[in-house]
Amino acid sequence: MLLKLVPLLKSKKEENVMKKNVVLKYLLLLVVVSVMAIGFTGCGVIINPIPTTGTVVITIAGSYTYYNYNIYLDSWSNKIGVTSGGTFTATGISPGTHTFYADDATWNWYYDYNTVYVTAGQTSYLTLYPW
């Protein structure tokens, strides 16, 4: 019975070869995982949000451009800002038709208004000529 067990025992050489194989397999697994981690970094899906508002750039032109102008959206009572250097950029404007009003911030003598169509994700341009 003892003689039958002897062939089942592995030699030291075979054990060393098996240990080397296990180490090589783990090393190969580590290399593959590392390469995949480096390769897939930054490969996330980029989803651009769908724009829901637009932008309007208002330019003051004509004889009285040296004044700063109050800018109103859709009514004289809804002031949204003051021009600087003859321009004003209105952001976050809902899509559709809007009327922009301008009057000079100093004397309230010079004014103008006009309508522009705003598209989501787009920039619309409007020129006003206060007199």
> What pLDDT, in 10s, does the model give residues 68-116?
999 999 999 999 999 988 999 999 999 999 999 999 999 989 999 999 9
pTM of this prediction exceeds 0.75:
no
Tell me which residue has tokens 């976050």.
Answer: 92
d(CA 102, CA 76): 9
pLDDT digits (tens, 9 = 90+) for 41-58: 766 677 889 999 999 999
State CA 9 to chain mean position distance. Answer: 66
Beta bridge partners of 97: 117
d(CA 88, CA 58): 5
Domains and CATH numbers, the chain: 54-128 (2.60.40.1120)
Q: Which two tokens stand for residue 126?
A: 């409007």
Q: Is the pLDDT of residue 26 over 80?
A: yes
Maximal C-alpha separation, the chain: 118
Q: Show Cβ contacts of residue 125 under 8 Å, excluding neighbours closer than 6 positions.
A: 56, 57, 59, 116
Phi, psi of 80 (to 5 degrees): -115, -5
